[in-house]
Amino acid sequence: MQRNPGIAFLLAAALVPAVAAAKTPEQIFQQASRSVIVIHCCDDEGNSINQGGGVVTGRELVTTDCHVIENAARLDVHHQQQVLEATPVAANEGRDLCQIASRHTAPACQFPGLRVSFAAQSFQAAYC
């Protein structure tokens, strides 16, 4: 599996408000892990070509590193017992951040003050 520096940044950003509230590492993990999604990428023939992680950043939206999903013909998101198809909706390749849409039920993780631009649109991420 490839390294995901963008995901590490998003997770680290999620921890800043939690640390300020003096939560234990276990509490921080419990809170943030609810919003972490596994992404499986397949080629045209259904063969697995890549796997990575993502963070739920909005209703039915997951943010991941663009290199995780590049060259994929099909994207599946895995969360708990759910496996659902996803589609790319926005990309900021300069920051290696992509957004995909899926009908998952995972709660959004929010990061106060963090704005990420995707082409002409931007979204406000928020705190878990």
- pLDDT band per the 50, 70, 90 thresholds, residue 14: low
For the chain, list the domains and their CATH numbers: 5-124 (2.40.10.10)
3-state secondary structure the chain: CCCCHHHHHHHHHHHHHHHHCCCCHHHHHHHHHCCEEEEEEECCCCCEEEEEEEEEEECCEEEEEHHHHCCCCEEEEEECCEEEEEEEEEEECCCCEEEEECCCCCCCCCCCCCEEEECCEEEECCCC
Q: Which tens digits make up the pLDDT trace of 21-36?
A: 577 888 878 878 888 9
Condensed to tens digits (0 to 9), the pLDDT of residues 72-95 reads: 999 999 988 889 999 999 998 888
More confident residue, 96 or 32: 96
Claim: this prediction has a pTM higher than 0.75: no
